[in-house]
Structure 1
Amino acid sequence: MAVVGAILAAFYLVAVAAAMVVFGEGVLPIAIVGSVVLVGFQYKVGKWSALRSVGAKDMPEGQYQYIHQMVEKHSRDMGIKKPDLKIARMGVPNAFAVGRRGAGTVVVSEELIQLLDRDELEGVVAHELAHIDNRDVVTMVLGQGIASVVAIVAQYVVLFTGDNDLADFFLAIVVGNIVQFIVMIFVLAISRYREYVADADAKRAINSGDPLARALEKIQQGNERAHDTTIDDSVNALCIFGDDHGLARLVATHPPVEKRIQRLRS
């Protein structure tokens, strides 16, 4: 985390320095304020979009009292405010958390509740609460914000150091996308690492890694059998289970399920 965080900070500082060289020192306060506004905007919109995309609704406490009780217990043990609990029909068994400590939300799919035993569901809940406790959502938004800032600066540098014609316009788009992809490789490395940390924290919270390991096995099987899902790529990155067989595992948001299970049972 320290190494990757330092690399991301270096990317940001290089981008700001490049902007100052091209546009002058007066751009520094604009760059800093713009970065803060961009990250804040991504955080607010990302949370709203994630909940809206799956049709998340408030989880009735009378119907799901045992889930509310386990969330309240583990929230108290972790020293965080009990997050809002929501339920959604996602088409697959899954769960995710958004927000920060004091203003978090945990979403659980109906399919997950139907699939898992109570101790397995408790492991999943503890995992999502660990994400909120560790400020992982904020960390990921910050990383994505840095990637966006670096890409924007790269595009403007290309435009203002060239002839500012149509060819430079398309070159700026290409360069921006390449730079953003490179930075996102490091952001995704953080994402995979934070999944391992949340697993370990959940294991500690419920005094065993086996329930969460069994839950991951069932979730993986449920996702493989599913033919229709309401989860898009942006929300998939937040979920307890994500696809690690995309373009390459290098750009996966989650580590391989097999390795997570092995760690939980070791």
Structure 2
Amino acid sequence: MAIVGAVLFAFYAVAAVVVMGVFGWPLALVLVATVGFVGVQYKIGKWAALRSVGAEELPKDRYGDVHRRVEALADDMGIDKPRLMVARMGVPNAFAVGRKGAGTVVVSEELLQLLDPDELEGVLAHELAHISNRDVVMMVLGQGVASIVAIVAQWAVLLTGDNDIADFFLAIVVGQITQFLVLIFVFAISRYREYVADSDAAEKVGGGEPLARALEKIQRGSQRTRETEVDAQVNALCIFGEERGLERLVATHPPVEKRIERLRS
């Protein structure tokens, strides 16, 4: 975490120096602009994630036990009870957005139908751990840094070139490559935080077996259900993501087999 965090800071520091040198912005303005940019990304990202899956309030009259379990887990973790929502994703899954004081956990209808109560509690504990550990905010910050660095790289190409059509396309390519390089480190943090959330969840529910069984069921359910894919912008937030081949390089989740092995060890 320290090494990857230092690399991300180095990317941002270079971008900040370029902005101050090329545009003449003072450091204070650069920092304010960064906070504003990331803040807007956070607000829009939360709204877009909920909207993309058509999330609705999880009714207490039908799912009173789920609400009680989440309230108990939240109290044990020292955070406010998050808003609970349900969505039809086409796959059994769950994700969390927001921060400690204003978190939201979304579960799919397929997940509610698939898991036993103790397995569902393990999944909910995992999502609450993300909120408690500020993982959602950390991911938004990392992705914000990637966007900022990419934008600065694009402008650096445009301002140092001849302002022709070739420079325009070169700027796009440079921006995409730069963002990809930064996101590799962001996703490395994400994979590590998944292990941490698994460990915290296991501690809160009295062991890793319920969550391990839940992950096995979710994996099998996702393999059987291919008609509806989880929206791309939500997939990074979900408890289970599936990548193959080179996609593992930018995977937001570690291999589910390794997660299960750690939970059972």
Aligned to 2:172: 173
Classify the secondary structure of the residue corresponding to 1:196.
helix
Q: Which moved more, 1:14-23 or 1:114-123?
A: 14-23
Relative distance call for 1:5 and 1:219 in structure 2 (3 A) is same
Shift of the alpha carbon at 1:158? 0.7
The Cα of 1:218 is off from its aligned counterpart by 0.3
**Number of positions where the alignment pairs a residue of Structure 1 with one of Structure 2:** 265
Letter in 2 for 1:54: V
Gaps of 5+ in 1: none
Name the structure 2 match of 1:65: 64
Mapped to 2, the partners of 1:229 and 1:44 lie a distance apart of 26
Match of 1:153 in 2: 152
Identity %: 69
Cα deviations by residue, 1:63-107 (Å, 9 ceiling, x for unpaired):
000000000000000000000000111111000000000100000
Match of 2:52 in 1: 53
Alignment-derived partner of residue 205 in structure 1: 204
Give 1:11-30 correspondences, 5 Å limit: 11-24=11-24, 26-30=25-29
5 Å-filtered alignment, 1:250-261, equals 250-261=249-260
- The DSSP-based 3-state class of the residue aligned with 2:81 is coil
CA distance in 2, matches of 1:31, 1:174: 24
Match of 2:111 in 1: 112
TM-score (norm 1): 0.97
Tell me the CA shift for residue 228 of structure 1. 1.9
Instruction: Give the root-mean-square deviation of aligned CA atoms.
Output: 1.1
CA–CA distance in 2 between the matches of 1:31 and 1:169? 24
Counterpart in the other structure of 1:265: 264
- Do the aligned residues in 2 keep the contact of 1:243 with 1:253 (CA within 8 Å)? no
- Which sits farther off after the overlay, 157-166 or 122-131? 157-166
Match status 1:7 vs 2:10: no
Distance 1:162 1:28 in 2: 26
Letter in 2 for 1:89: R
| Residue 233 (structure 2) pairs with residue 247 (structure 1) | no
Q: Point out 4+ residue stretches in structure 1 off by more than 6 angstroms.
A: none
Structure 2 unaligned segments of length 5 or more: list them.
none
Deviations 1:111-158 (A, max 9, x none): 001101111000000000000000000000000000000001101111
- State the TM-score, normalizing by the size of structure 2: 0.97
1:156-180 CA distances to partner (integer Å, 9 max, x unpaired)? Answer: 1111111122111111111011000
Find the residue that maps to 2:243 and give its secondary structure. coil
Corresponding position of 1:237 = 236
Show the counterpart of 2:220: 221
Does structure 2 conserve the Cα–Cα contact (< 8 Å) formed by 1:147 and 1:183?
Answer: yes
